[in-house]
Chains A and B, each alone.
Chain A
Amino acid sequence: MPSASILCVIAFSRALTAAAITMMALATSGWGAAQSTTLVGKSAVASGAGQPLVPTLLSLDQSLRTQDFTAIQLRRFRDDQGNVVSVRERLQVDANGSARPGFAVTFLQVEGELPGSATDLKWQQKYAQFASLFYTHGTFRVHELTAAASNYTLHDFGPVVRANRAARRMVVFPATVDKAIWVVDFDSLTGVPLYSVEFDSQLHVLAEVEVLSFTNAVAPLVPALSSTTQHNDYNTAIAFMGGPRQMIDPIVALTSEYQLDRVEVRDDPLNGRQALVMTYTDGVDQFVVVQSPGTPDFFAGLPSMSGGGKSIARYRDPAMSVLLFWDAGVSFHVAGRGSLRRLDDLAQALYLQALSTN
């Protein structure tokens, strides 16, 4: 049991880090074509009905389930050279009382690029195929309230103005150092994030989304054709896929604070191959375990594989960890944040589970 002095030190260091993050957010909030933020004076803006003055995880979860809105926002992508690409998109959310509201993400343009340019067309194609990922995995959300309350703490940094709306700046601080830190400006009226930036433990910016305009209403959404089907559990998904063998129900005991969030079967539009995607969340952070049956061994022929050797390909940078391996006709990959190094052990455990199963 840590002593009181140690707890004080930990709390102080967290507050210090949160303050540093806030200062960085203030310094970077004028990036690109975003509107500058101003700190409101001493009097706090009255919050909307149903929203507390200082957001809580509960209020954020409720907002996700109940609030319709339409937002024009900039999503900024960074590469390892520090280059930033800002993509303007429209996000429409049609709440349905559940943690998975109806939504639509529409590509608008790439900032600084002419419509119809090669870059513009490339991003348009990407959005056409993967836009749903940006909302389900690339935006700050409370995926699971109880887990989020156990694994994160909220720190209030006062009122701000974002997209000409009163907002409250909060820092979402993880309980462990191998997860991202979030600075989020929540709309005071609706609790919807109007600005979110993701930092790693070294305070490097990993992702950023900034709302430019916001309306708390949404036009009726036209159901779009989706290559993704959701299922309740692993067995249901396997049955949907035709019962392919050599697939496993992952045992993720090594990441005990993460729980299964969703089970999906995705069809690749290029080759028609199906993949079982299982997403795990600790309330805010996520990682995925993807299994694709009927794939060739991408390690075949490598010298390391001679003599029955087993290998896991690993790619890691500050933003992303991806681990790939193959067994008995099934390719596996585990993907998550770059700082979550426990994914190495998890991938190894899943590989051993697959080997023992087959």
Chain B
Amino acid sequence: MSAPENQPPENQPRDRRDRFSCLPPTCRAFLCTFADNGTGAVDGTHAEQCAECAKQHSFQTRLGSLLSTRPISPELLRTTQFAEMLHERIIEAAASSSLGILVANRDSAPIHSSAWPEALLESEVARSTISATPQPSPAMWAKVRHSIMAGVSERRQPRHWRRLLLGITTAAAAAIVSGLVLSNGTTKESTIVFTDLDTMPGVEFAILRYGALR
């Protein structure tokens, strides 16, 4: 994949496109020239006049060739022994991780037996499973149906009365609350606080208790 600055403007990232569109036309033309030509010759006149474009051209000249070729990996990394050693290290790391410990310590799953154990087959559970239950008679079903329908009709009536009572109660509560809110009270609730005095007030009872004002 080529460097972003070597891509056509429509393929460049948006920020680069925004910056590119803000450049003067001469700069855009200059940048497109060596984008197309790679490290080839460009218009030197504009490079002499525009410092920014000259810097871009200098970067392109020095780094372009390096970025265009893929570096060769070292010989050691391409050996089979290295790959195996890497593989073992990965396995060791996984074994020492929490998942590896969990997998190593799990109980062994019971062996699935293809046949039922004999004791279970001879138990009451097995006998009741394999034997068919008797079906109730039609008369029985009729009675059951009748009792169910009767219960449903009974619940329907109290539910109706409950709804009516709830509606009346709600209306009464709303009337009371609205009456309290809209009415002008005849008395105003007063909050009275006590203020403690440090000195004895000049009242006759103080004369009585202490004879004279302190």
Residues of chain A having any CB pair with chain B under 8 Å: 75, 77-79, 85, 87, 122-123, 126, 130, 133-134, 137-138, 206-207, 288, 290, 304, 309-317, 319-320, 322-324, 333, 335-336, 344, 348, 351-352, 355-356
Q: A344 contacts B194, CB within 8 Å?
A: yes
Q: In the complex, which of the residues B191, B194, B205 contacts A288, with contact meaning CB atoms closer than 8 Å? A: B205
Q: A315 contacts B197, CB within 8 Å?
A: yes
Q: A335 contacts B205, CB within 8 Å?
A: yes
Chain B residues within 8 Å of A206, by CB: 209
B140 at the interface (CB under 8 A from A): no
Q: B187 contacts A336, CB within 8 Å?
A: no
Q: B206 contacts A322, CB within 8 Å?
A: yes
> A140 CB to closest chain B CB, in angstroms?
14
Nearest 3 A/B pairs, CB to CB: A335-B205, A77-B211, A315-B197
Within 8 A of A (CB), among B169-214: 187, 190-197, 199-201, 203-212, 214
Q: A319 contacts B210, CB within 8 Å?
A: yes
> B82 CB to closest chain A CB, in angstroms?
87
Chain A residues within 8 Å of B197, by CB: 313-315
Q: Report which residue of A123, A133, A304 has the largest number of chain B beta carbons within 10 angstroms of its beta carbon.
A: A133
Q: In the bound complex, what is the Cα–Cα distance between A75 and B209 (angstroms)?
A: 11
Q: Report which residue of A134, A309, A322 has the largest number of chain B beta carbons within 10 angstroms of its beta carbon.
A: A322
Q: Which residue of chain A lies nearest to B206 when distances are taken between CB atoms in the complex? A: A320
Q: In the bound complex, what is the Cα–Cα distance between A335 and B200 (angstroms)?
A: 12
> A124 CB to closest chain B CB, in angstroms?
11
Q: A319 contacts B209, CB within 8 Å?
A: yes
Q: In the bound complex, what is the Cα–Cα distance between A87 and B207 (angstroms)?
A: 13
Q: In the bound complex, what is the Cα–Cα distance between A335 and B204 (angstroms)?
A: 9
A79-B214, A315-B197 given; A290·B203 CB < 8 A: yes
Q: B211 contacts A123, CB within 8 Å?
A: yes
Q: B192 contacts A310, CB within 8 Å?
A: yes
What is the number of residues of chain B that contact chain A, defined by CB distance less than 8 Å? 23
Q: In the bound complex, what is the Cα–Cα distance between A79 and B194 (angstroms)?
A: 24
Show 12 residue pairs from A and B whose CB-CB distance is below 8 angstroms, ordered by the A residue.
A122-B212, A126-B211, A130-B208, A133-B204, A312-B193, A313-B196, A315-B199, A320-B206, A322-B201, A333-B203, A335-B205, A336-B205
Q: A311 contacts B194, CB within 8 Å?
A: yes
Q: In the bound complex, what is the Cα–Cα distance between A311 and B194 (angstroms)?
A: 6
Q: A85 contacts B209, CB within 8 Å?
A: no
Q: A311 contacts B208, CB within 8 Å?
A: no
Q: B193 contacts A356, CB within 8 Å?
A: no
Instruction: Give chain A's interface secondary structure class.
Output: strand
Q: In the bound complex, what is the Cα–Cα distance between A207 and B210 (angstroms)?
A: 9
Q: Which residue of chain B lies nearest to A75 when distances are taken between CB atoms in the complex? A: B211
Chain B residues within 8 Å of A78, by CB: 210
> B159 CB to closest chain A CB, in angstroms?
48
> B194 CB to closest chain A CB, in angstroms?
5
> A355 CB to closest chain B CB, in angstroms?
6
A313-B197, A314-B197, A355-B190 given; A320·B205 CB < 8 A: yes
A123-B211, A356-B187 given; A312·B203 CB < 8 A: no
Q: In the bound complex, what is the Cα–Cα distance between A314 and B196 (angstroms)?
A: 5
> B3 CB to closest chain A CB, in angstroms?
76
Q: In the complex, which of the residues B187, B191, B208 contacts A133, with contact meaning CB atoms closer than 8 Å? A: B208
Q: Which residue of chain A lies nearest to B213 when distances are taken between CB atoms in the complex? A: A126
Q: In the bound complex, what is the Cα–Cα distance between A32 and B207 (angstroms)?
A: 21
> B203 CB to closest chain A CB, in angstroms?
6
> B189 CB to closest chain A CB, in angstroms?
10
Q: In the bound complex, what is the Cα–Cα distance between A315 and B214 (angstroms)?
A: 14
Q: A130 contacts B204, CB within 8 Å?
A: yes
Q: B210 contacts A77, CB within 8 Å?
A: yes
Chain B residues within 8 Å of A310, by CB: 190-193
Beyond the given A75-B211, A85-B211, please list 10 additional residue pairs across the A-B interface where CB-CB is below 8 A. Answer: A77-B209, A87-B211, A133-B204, A288-B205, A310-B192, A313-B194, A320-B200, A322-B200, A322-B205, A322-B206
> B202 CB to closest chain A CB, in angstroms?
10
Chain A residues within 8 Å of B205, by CB: 137, 288, 320, 322, 335-336
Q: Which residue of chain B lies nearest to A125 when distances are taken between CB atoms in the complex? A: B212
Q: In the complex, which of the residues A207, A311, A333 contacts B193, with contact meaning CB atoms closer than 8 Å? A: A311
Chain A residues within 8 Å of B187, by CB: 356
Scoring B residues 89 to 105 as 1 if CB is less than 8 Å from chain A, else 0, what string do you get?
00000000000000000
Q: In the bound complex, what is the Cα–Cα distance between A63 and B193 (angstroms)?
A: 45
Q: A313 contacts B195, CB within 8 Å?
A: yes
Q: In the bound complex, what is the Cα–Cα distance between A148 and B187 (angstroms)?
A: 39
Q: Which residue of chain A lies nearest to B196 when distances are taken between CB atoms in the complex? A: A314
> B50 CB to closest chain A CB, in angstroms?
75
Within 8 A of A (CB), among B123-181: none
> A146 CB to closest chain B CB, in angstroms?
25
Q: In the bound complex, what is the Cα–Cα distance between A138 and B204 (angstroms)?
A: 12
> A316 CB to closest chain B CB, in angstroms?
8
